[in-house]
Structure 1
């Protein structure tokens, strides 16, 4: 097939043996990290320079690449363009030869030996044997309205293909938008999948020496001993009964997004001056409220959720006081929303085990909220819809696609596998969480109906909405103190790239792919959209300012990185020793201030077999599979602005990492989960 771009200055095909001095180039091709990515097909290339000249068809050798990540081959060829100084485009195609067929190409680089200039053409696509040519510009980076006219059909065809591959479904009526069928490009790489699978086998092997049965634990000491023999002791085991630890869980646990400044006690919460008398240093309740010393957690969202028939689910309030030492101390817990004779308010003045059981039931309710919303709902599943929408509406050549793509790695794959193994009938959630499968789906539905970009979508605004952004109000809040600067670093990186590509108002208004993208983000889920609320902009114009684009992209990258890291990586530390943060407690919600025995408490806890499942799954979920934030597994942006922005981002992250390590020295309890060295690029586990 003749190239539509060919224009030669008397260049002669190389096979004719021309004697004219032709400029030599080194063409390097790199195969991506996909199963079966290599090819032994015939590979052909045509180079185009900035003067409109084209090379002859250059053939590259067969049996080029293996399946290994980053495998590359370099070929020295004569370009056939006299005086070649700069390249503008590359055409390439493959013709089937031997066993290998489709080829996943990461990139081509072309070095002009005479000038030593290097031109990069990122591909990051499957190329199938065909006489049709794939043509890419340098950096393969353009807004749709700036795409060369001859390349527009290719761009539109690619989007059409993506729309067929990335299709929405709702596995749960009213639930989040999810992928109908996992595209092959989204599957785990061979290396990553193997690591993930073998890690679970290794964890199970470490617990083999323990006699796991369906019987209950007899004493807390029996339960404690099992960790020494298997997966290691969670640090909380020695302090889990302490009130100061219960306070710390609100500001640096797996669910640090519930604690709210309290100006007034809710009418449903039957707390009076007498209730908390003696628990507020020398203050009255009215004084403590007035001086911003009171904080509250309200889990009314769990009220009436379906639940395991043997495990009732609270919908509690918990009230906290910031004491003179700036420690957040629990002073009252009510386990149901409506007060009454069978719903007392528990306080530290009650018998120690009575108060302990109240804290355990509160934590059990919060664990349901954590898994349904903070973890699974507001990171994994919220972003699944965003990933699908991005593939359907932004070309791989779009700068915003390239900016977000590293943060989507393996997300659809882990969601597909996670739902299949963990959130399914008889799976981990069904067996080891009080809300069970039906409950978690209803919980997520409620949460998705409430989620707003203007609140949950942005770290700083979410903190402000809860009244805890100000350090003078809540001095010790490790989640906030680490999340905010990390969010700002991400925003700075995003802003640099976005403002470069939308440096005039016309570029923003002319970007029809961006408008399609926003339109589908806000479209209701039952109408083939993602259903996100309060995304900035409007239906007529799309995004109306560059600031709106920056905020939206920052929110997405932040959710895929720091949002998921905060909710995920300390799950073993919180959940594994079950009394500390119980995913399930058997029996009815307490209705009176009973003085519980240790035997009573042990009867509430999961069986030995369930404990094993909780330990292994939370250990697995707490492991990291992909690289640290900013150290991208796949590089998409090769243009100078993108490359320099990434380098600056990496410098900022390194500085933040050092600052966080310093802060940890003086903290009440180590909080390392938002250290950029620990935060991955994407939701991959």
Structure 2
């Protein structure tokens, strides 16, 4: 009688193993096997990290094995199980791989397709078509859109992390990581000794030195020594945590009436201010998005303050970016003066501090939260709802969506919710952060998420004009490598533009992002359909880059970009494309490392070995 060898790999994460009963059914093109209990007498099956093999005997050949059904039934108490993959060795000696990478909870069954990626138009038999349709129907019931606040991108329909589908919750290790990292931070900051400092206003700049007494590295020490200086203030616009605000000034706005006489003493080239503008040496940072945002009020006696400043910046003869003039509000007047480097030492320092405060507010809420976290969640939910696990784009994107919905749900549960951490500690808390997101969404377009387009729109794409803009240079390299990889994958599965147009699932994916995730906001300009392989490549590059490199540039790294521990793809051409991608990223890493040698302020945020695969923190 024909016998099939079934090998099952259990996950290595905590609590991945199970004592429940596991059954398997092999489903072939000709017939199905009997439902078979997988059990080895006197042997503890399905332990964490285990790879177990079993023989499944059938009466007749099943034909080509196209599906396997796994069922978990309670033994004593419900015991969740994480299955990594299943392989089936046929009587003829062939191996068929079935990637799983999901949790089985309660009395749950999972039906898996073999690991070859397929477009919807590739499926010909009724069996696989029905499986594809049923998977998506189930996913759409599980992954539902919800409006957390009006006027912002949609999120997952779950109020708490524990309400999320088990497959997208944090693993146990991730939860422990949060606790350990928090404890380590407390230890590093020596917070226990200075806890009172976090519960009241600080009265001395020396408090910063006391807090960071346990953290020692050359960059932090250098910044501590030079933070008051103008060159450090300007450098942060290029390579700080919010390097997306600076733009070339081609004409002074009427609302910012800086004259040549005001700044002449700071200009080095014997040119007028107007001539410096024409020469491309003047830049501007405008925090207009903060204008009118309600400041926080933690109690009736503690009103916080927000500024919406405009800062003029000057590229001097040494290619350093220096602040030239600062106006703390959007409307000029006697009560809204323009501060200059020639003013008193502390007047100028305070003006810069207010700008940095505004930059922090925009960075955390717009650059970081809205444009990486919330956008990646939109892409992720649409992916789960519209792309089955067998789709090549699902296999491509799933590593870059990992844990994003979970971290965002925790943020809505603890950080940006009413009475959350934002409300207790942030000047835009108490609802101002929601207003800020609502306002910023109006300038959030699809093209603004395309890295080269965003750089060009701000007029900072010329390397000769801004030779030390490492965020731009490194970002362009990573963007091009990512785009090349995405293009390779697209061309493996789509032989023509017509195949893209005929892929009803990829079309439903991009439409779901625009019509539901982005709620068809005016001016968002997200595509509702894709007409070519080039358009699909760019779209996938935006998703991957936003979730990985862009988030890294405004946050920090964990699992390095290009590393895919869960192998959803099994095809050799894709594995080769992945290897090419890794080599390109390694070359970029080496280039950045060489460039940073000897620099007092090295820039690593866009180095691929520092870039996380997904938005997971």
- How far apart, CA to CA, are the structure 2 residues paired with 1:526 and 1:488? 26
Larger Rg, first or second structure (1 or 2): 1
Q: Deviations over 1:453-484 (max 9, x none)?
A: 11x21100100000111102211101001111
1:107 counterpart (85, 89, 107): 85
> Is 240-249 or 26-35 further displaced after alignment?
26-35
Of 238, 253, 261, 1:274 maps to: 261
Q: Following the alignment from structure 2 to structure 1, what is the Cα–Cα distance between the partners of residues 560 and 138?
A: 32
- More off after superposition, 509-518 vs 120-129: 120-129
The aligned counterpart of 1:655 is: 587
> Given that residues 403 and 616 in structure 2 are in contact (C-alpha distance below 8 angstroms), is that contact kept between their aligned partners in structure 1?
yes
The answer as to whether partners of 1:334 and 1:343 remain within 8 angstroms in 2 is: yes
> Given that residues 282 and 313 in structure 2 are in contact (C-alpha distance below 8 angstroms), is that contact kept between their aligned partners in structure 1?
yes
Alignment partner of 1:210 is 2:186: no
- Number of corresponding residues: 596
1:146-178 deviations in Å (ceiling 9; x for gaps): 223212222211111111111111121212211
CA distance in 2, matches of 1:245, 1:554: 33
- Counterpart contact for 2:152–2:518, Cα < 8 Å: no
| 1:335-389 superposed Cα distances (whole Å, 9 cap, x missing partner) | 1111111111111111111111000001111111101110011111122122111
Specify which of 237, 242, 246 is matched with residue 259 of structure 1.
246
SS for the counterpart of 2:88 is strand
CA contact (8 A) 1:395 1:401 kept: yes
Q: In structure 1, how many angstroms separate the alpha carbons of the residues matched to 2:343 and 2:477? A: 41
What is the aligned partner in structure 2 of residue 152 from structure 1? 129
SS at match of 2:608: coil
Match of 1:671 among 597, 603, 607: 603
CA gap 1:106/1:287 in 2 versus in 1, 3 angstroms: same
Q: Secondary structure at the match of 2:68?
A: strand
Q: Distance in 1 between matches of 2:336 and 2:574?
A: 58
Q: Rate the CA distance shift 1:544–1:326 in 2: closer, same or farther, 3 A.
A: same
Change (3 A) 1:633 1:438: farther
- The answer as to 2:373 corresponding to 1:380 is yes
Q: Deviations over 1:412-450 (max 9, x none)?
A: 111111222221233322232222231111110111121
Deviation readout 1:576-619 (Å, 9 max, x if unpaired): xxxxxxxxxxxxxxxxxxxxxxxxxxxxxxxxxxxxxxxxxxxx
Query: d(CA) in 2 for partners of 1:71 and 1:332?
Result: 64
The secondary structure found in structure 2 opposite 1:268 is coil
CA displacement at 1:508 relative to structure 2: 1.7
User: Whole-Å Cα distance in 1 between the matches of residues 157 and 33 of structure 2?
Assistant: 43
Counterpart position of 2:148:
171
1:234 aligns with 2:220: yes
Q: Distance in 1 between matches of 2:573 and 2:87?
A: 18
Residue 683 of structure 1: aligned partner:
615
Aligned partner of residue 234 in structure 1, secondary structure: helix
> Quick one: distance in 1 between partners of 2:522 and 2:379?
10
Structure 1 position 45, deviation (Å):
4.0
2:20, 2:72 within 8 Å by CA — same for their partners in 1? no
How far 1:215 moved relative to its partner? 4.5
- Once the 2 structures are TM-superposed, how far is the Cα of residue 95 of structure 1 from its aligned partner? 5.7
Structure 2: 5+ residue stretches without partners: 159-163, 298-302
Q: 2:430 aligns with which of 429, 437, 454?
A: 437
Deviations 1:79-129, CA, capped at 9 Å, x for gaps: 8888x9x965242333625235664322112356975x5432112344578
Equivalent in the alignment of 2:38: 60
| 1:221 match | 206
**Other structure's SS at 1:283 match:** coil
1:186 aligns with 2:164: no
CA distance in 2, matches of 1:55, 1:216: 70
Q: In the superposition, relative to structure 1, how do residues 166 and 132 fare at CA in structure 2: closer, same or farther (>3 Å)?
A: closer
In structure 2, the partner of 1:40 is 20
- Normalising to structure 2: TM-score of the pair? 0.89
Partner of 1:471: 463
- Return the alpha-carbon distance in structure 1 between the equivalents of residues 14 and 237 of structure 2: 41
RMSD value, Cα: 2.8
Q: Is 1:480–2:466 an aligned residue pair?
A: no
Q: What CA deviation, in whole Å up to 9, does each residue of 1:519-547 have, x standing for no partner?
A: 211115586x79892234x5xxx211111
Counterpart-to-counterpart distance in 2, 1:311 and 1:299? 18
CA distance in 1, matches of 2:488, 2:329: 48
Secondary structure, counterpart of 1:209 in structure 2: helix
Q: Could you tell me the TM-score, scaled by structure 1's length?
A: 0.81
| Aligned residue number for residue 448 of structure 1 | 441
Deviates more, 1:232-241 or 1:368-377: 232-241
5+ residue gaps, structure 1, are: 1-11, 13-21, 570-623
